[in-house]
Structures are given as C-alpha cells and as structure tokens.
Structure 1
C-alpha cells in the first residue's frame, strides 16, 4: 500500500481517477467506522449530490493485506462477465473503481437505502415481503451458479503474484486456546472458552458440519442483516426493495452456509433483547424477550419458503438441507460471540444464553427446526413437495452418541 487515504487527499484522488471533475467540489466528508477495523471508510458527498464510499484495506502486521477488496472487485467483474446474475437487481454492481496497488475501492453509496438490521431494530417490525425478496434473490444467485464450473473458476482468480485456494471451508470452530488468551480477553469471557471445550457434543457437531461441507455454487459468505439494504420507501415500490452489499467474502461455497448466517443474524435481534439475570433460568429469559421470537418467526418462514420455492432442486441434492441451515446458524452465533470478545472486549449473561441456543442448534438441529420456524421440517417442505414432486426427507433413527472423537477435524 503506497497511498494512505485521508480526508485531505481523497478529492484529489477521485479527480485523478476520473470519478469527479475539478468543478465538482465536495460538500461533505464523513469517516465511517469499520466494525472489524480491517478497512478505512470515507463517505464523500459531491456537489451533484452523488455519494461515494471510499474503502481502503489496512495493512496487517506483516504489511500484507487480506485482499478482501480485490475479492469484491472480482465479484463486480463477474457480474459484468455473466449477465445472468448481473441482471439480478438486488445484487447489481455498485463498484466504480478499484486500485489494487493501494488497496482502494470506490463504490456508489445509496442514501435512499437503510441497513436492514437498523430498520428492524428501530421499527420493531419484520414484514414478510422483505424476507420473501431476500430469500428469492439469494436462491436466484445460488441456482444460476449451481454446479457451474465457469463461475467457480472465475472466482478462483488470484491477485497478481498471489496464490489462492479454490475452496475455503467456513465450518470452523473457535481458534485453539493458548496461554496468551489470559492477556487478551476479559476475565469473564474465559467462561465461554471453558464451556466450549467442555461440550464435546458441540465440537463433534462442528466437526461433522465441516466434514459434510458441500461447495456447489457462488455464496456471499457474510450475509448478515447489516449487509442488506432496504429502500426507505420499500412499502411503496414494486421492485428493488433490497440490495445485497459487501461481497468481499464471496466465494465458491455451500448455500446452506449463507442461509444459516442470515438466520443467525435474525436470531441475534431476538437474543439481544433478552432479559438476563443470574437468578433467571434460560427458558424464562427467552419468554421475557423484548422482541419475542414469535414476532420474527413469520419472516424466517417466509425467507426459507421463498428460497426453496425458487431453488427447490437443492432439496433433491441435499435432503438434510434445512437441518444444515439450522446448524450453520448455531455456528454463526458462536463466531459472533467470539467476535464480540475479540473486538469489543465484552461478555455477559446474554452471551451465555446465545451460547446455549447455538449449542442446541448444532447438536439437536431436528428439534430446533420446530423451535426456530414454529413449524416442523415436513410442514416447510410439504407445499413444495406437492408442487415440485419432491421426496420427503427420511427420518433417521435418533441415537445418542456414547463417544466423541474430540480431536477429529478440530479447528477445521
């Protein structure tokens, strides 16, 4: 990285890149926070009221970058190369410029759109129309790229002089614990790591999830609610309600991972509203939530049904698809707890509740389907089975494991 971006040189940089003229002077500049502190973000409003988001990837300790912005630019190129997915309005290209040498990416910023997570939390409503559009959009992306080698090979392109693995398995447990952890995390957070190691069934479930990971289409890989934009006039529009953004983690992957990550993002709204106290049992805390799960459930059901209606073929390939979505949701919740500890240096009883829910999603996913969606797996699939002549998934005999090979695939 040769040119550190700042509010002092950003206008000159945009002019030299041909993104604005000398007459098009800036009206406003705002530095935006990056949640994981990997990028420096600057929002620039130009004289013609256009807004541009300038992102620069920060160097790591070894003065290298993780090439996440390159990956987002690569996805932009993919949309140009393959109109089949480029014409999906919700994932229409936003990128205007990429400077690989300085790790700078410039994209359009839509002031008429809001982050969906903020919309949900501020309004405390969960319209099923929004969830339906998201499910259909995601299904269109997965279906269009399913088992298509040209998409897989395109996204395997590496930066100049670099090497890239074709596949990255995101089904990983928490990092290995070393003595250094005592100086990097809050004392109260040590309970999380102690409980995680105590639950052998949890480690075994994550290992099985990693072993059965099935990369077969193009996936977003970071599909949280704050990476989805909703139009401020969503209830007055017939189309373009949502936009999926931040494709820096996009890769060839397992479609159940995208849905599981998104499901976990919805569940965090519920879990973050719990009334927690050491004297209150978990079940009571769940019932006292300020945003009850029952309020969110219709959107969760609309999301999964819209997805499966648009991409029913996935059930023929993976009859355990819904169960795997539930398990990936549990894994995403565990990763969220770890991120909270790492970046916010924070851990409390609400995180303990989240860990218990995550454990249930991973270790008893069949039972958790009913708890999360409000209906059983067969009720989710049955309307599709009648319409598309799908076979119902066979119910396996529920047996309790007597032994877990703790070291198997640990850390994978």
Structure 2
C-alpha cells in the first residue's frame, strides 16, 4: 500500500489524474488532526482539496471509507437523489486499494462543535437547517430498498435490516480481562446497571420497535456538521458509518448532542445535588430549548411519514436519547475518561428519559410535544 505524506501527496494526485500535471503544482499543505491521516492542499490556482487516508496497521486498514463511497455512488447514479448532494461534501475520488479519499475542502464552513462551543444562546436557524437536512435524507430514501441493495453491492458491510444488539455491547460482561482495560472507577457503571434492571429492560424493548427503513448517518456529533454563516447552508460530513436503519436513531443522536452540550457546561461538585449542579450551567437548558423544539418541528415537517413508521415517534425518540447518553458514558469508559459526577448525572438523566419518557420530554423540550403535533399521548 501507498503511505501518503506531505512530500508525495501532490505526485499521487497527478498520477491519479486528479490534478493536471501541466498546472502549477505550487501548493500549501496543512496537516489536520483526526483519527485518519488528513491533508489540506491549497493550490496557487485556487483549488482546495482534502485528502484523507485511513490509518494503516500491518499494511492493512478497516475500509472505513468504503461506506462513504457507497453513499456517494448512490447519489451519483440516482438523479432523483440530487437534492441530497447539496448537504454532503463533494467527493472526487476513492482509491480502494490504498484507502484514500479525495474531496473538495469546504473553505467557508466551520464545524458546529466550534459554533456551539462559543454560542451561549445559539440561533435556532442552525437547528432548523440540521433538521431539514436530516429529514430530507430520511424522506428521500424512505422505503427505497433498491438504494439499500445498491449500497450493499458496493460495501457488503451495509446492513440489510439487522436489528441492533440489546446487550450493553461496548463493555460487555465483566471478565478477568475487563480489569485490565478500564479504570477502577468505571466499575461504578456496572453497579448502576445492576441496580437499575428497569433500564436494561427498557433498552431491550427499544430493539423490538426498531424499524430499518432508510439511509442513516449514525455519527451525528456536532463536529460532523459544517455551517456557513454567509449562506446559512449546512453540510454533513464523515459518512463512514452510513447504513440502512431506523431514522429515529439519527434524530436522537442529534438531540443527545444538545443535551450533552448543556451537561458539559455545568460545574460538577462532589457535595452538590444534581439540580444544584444543573443550575450552574453556562449554557442553560432554557437557552437550548428553542433549538430542540425547532429541530423536532422541522424534522416532522420534512419527514411526516415518520409517524407511520413509529406512531409513538416522540416517545421512542426520547427513549433513544437516553440510550445514546448511556452509550456516550460507555465511550468515556472505553477511552479511560474518569467516571465522575458529570457521567453519574448523565446516567441519572438517561434513566428518566428511558423509563419515564413522557415526563422527561416535557422537562427537556419545555413543551408537550404530543400536543404540539396533535398526536395521542402514548404511555411507554
């Protein structure tokens, strides 16, 4: 396999016919942080490229880019999906053998991780753009199993409707090896699971209501959304985990990102109760609620068929938010983040979302969502 470097990347582009050899190869090369090897190339003629290569270990990689290329191929070969191309990056080339992806660099955009880190009272127009993009993705691929089959031919790891696991997955059962791969304080998570069997039962029930019916992104952290202030346009990047699945998993993923922003802005003191700590938030929940409400309203307007897939879609989404919050605590444990008061508060909130979704939804969204959408209340 070729290993890209700042020294050989221009020659690589020329050899692949991506950059004309007769053009002036004067270029500014910038290394960008990330789990992959990322280089930004700014040519003297104004072209701006992002070249990414997967991490190579023992002359092999995980083919993570293959899913993104499968989705890009779907858009290229199905003209009826052309509106979706406005919300994804423009990928020019994929080198299967060397796991290299080349796309246009979006110069006027910044990621929403940066935006929300600075905005104490974020503009709900951003949430509206997120929800519209997500609703369009789900609506335009809804029940089109030919799209699923197309992507599966390109990347056979694209699922064809498999239900998710009902186990705790990331951490699994405690074994002797567990003691060597997590911090000692992380065993508090296992104690929490044992003390709350109702959470385990509720999460297992989520799988029984899972409906695979459209293309899903599955990695909707703020850092994967790019926002252009000048045009109020949004792009969704890093489609490595794209799959055929339940649209509400994507919706819950976005909503959980907002809730994590709120929790992350609190000051967590050992002696303080949960409510006291929440009152210290520099980004209070009330400041985010207009965005949360707008997101739900806009998503439903863009994809009203969600109510036919999940008649209780609001309750189901709220429970999935709780599941996502728990999953993020598990990720913290995997990456040796101390299991502190913020994680404990996150689990407490997740328990309420999963087990008492109607009550919790009113607190989180600041409104009665069932009444807002003229839907009958559903008792979970």
- Judge same fold: TM > 0.5, yes or no: yes
Aligned to 2:28: 28
Aligned to 2:259: 267
Q: 1:222 aligned to 219, 228, 231, which one?
A: 219
Once residues 380 and 309 of structure 1 are traced to their aligned partners in structure 2, the CA distance between those partners, rounded to angstroms, is 12
Matched position secondary structure for 1:306: helix
* 1:29-108 correspondence runs (5 A): 29-34=29-34, 37=35, 39-59=36-56, 65-88=61-84, 90-108=86-104
Once residues 170 and 55 of structure 1 are traced to their aligned partners in structure 2, the CA distance between those partners, rounded to angstroms, is 30
Kept in 2, the 8 Å contact 1:90–1:137? The answer is no
Once residues 346 and 84 of structure 1 are traced to their aligned partners in structure 2, the CA distance between those partners, rounded to angstroms, is 48
Once residues 246 and 370 of structure 1 are traced to their aligned partners in structure 2, the CA distance between those partners, rounded to angstroms, is 33
Q: 2:122 aligned to 122, 126, 150, which one?
A: 126
Once residues 164 and 286 of structure 2 are traced to their aligned partners in structure 1, the CA distance between those partners, rounded to angstroms, is 30
Q: Deviations over 1:85-106 (max 9, x none)?
A: 2223542451111000111111
Q: 1:167 aligned to 161, 178, 186, which one?
A: 161
Matched position secondary structure for 2:153: coil
Matched position secondary structure for 1:338: helix
Kept in 2, the 8 Å contact 1:275–1:288? The answer is yes
Once residues 27 and 194 of structure 1 are traced to their aligned partners in structure 2, the CA distance between those partners, rounded to angstroms, is 55
Kept in 2, the 8 Å contact 1:217–1:254? The answer is yes
Matched position secondary structure for 2:271: coil
Deviation at 1:168, TM superposition (A): 4.5
Kept in 2, the 8 Å contact 1:319–1:393? The answer is no
Once residues 309 and 150 of structure 2 are traced to their aligned partners in structure 1, the CA distance between those partners, rounded to angstroms, is 24
* 1:7-26 correspondence runs (5 A): 7-22=6-21, 23-26=23-26
Once residues 29 and 346 of structure 1 are traced to their aligned partners in structure 2, the CA distance between those partners, rounded to angstroms, is 37
Once residues 237 and 89 of structure 2 are traced to their aligned partners in structure 1, the CA distance between those partners, rounded to angstroms, is 9
Kept in 2, the 8 Å contact 1:89–1:243? The answer is no
Kept in 2, the 8 Å contact 1:28–1:44? The answer is yes
Change beyond 3 A, Cα 1:290–1:171 = farther
Aligned to 1:387: none
Q: Does 1:180 align with 2:174?
A: no
Kept in 1, the 8 Å contact 2:131–2:295? The answer is yes
Deviation at 1:271, TM superposition (A): 0.7
Matched position secondary structure for 1:156: helix
Matched position secondary structure for 1:98: strand
Deviation at 1:350, TM superposition (A): 1.2
Q: Which runs of 5+ in 2 are unaligned?
A: none
Aligned to 1:3: 2
Kept in 2, the 8 Å contact 1:79–1:93? The answer is no
Aligned to 1:388: none
Q: Deviations over 1:158-205 (max 9, x none)?
A: 44xx66642354565343132222222222222223323332111111
Q: Which runs of 5+ in 1 are unaligned?
A: 383-391, 399-412
Change beyond 3 A, Cα 1:195–1:27 = same
Moved more, 76-85 or 257-266: 76-85
TM-score normalised by length of structure 1: 0.85
Kept in 2, the 8 Å contact 1:205–1:362? The answer is yes
Aligned to 1:112: 108
Aligned length: 376
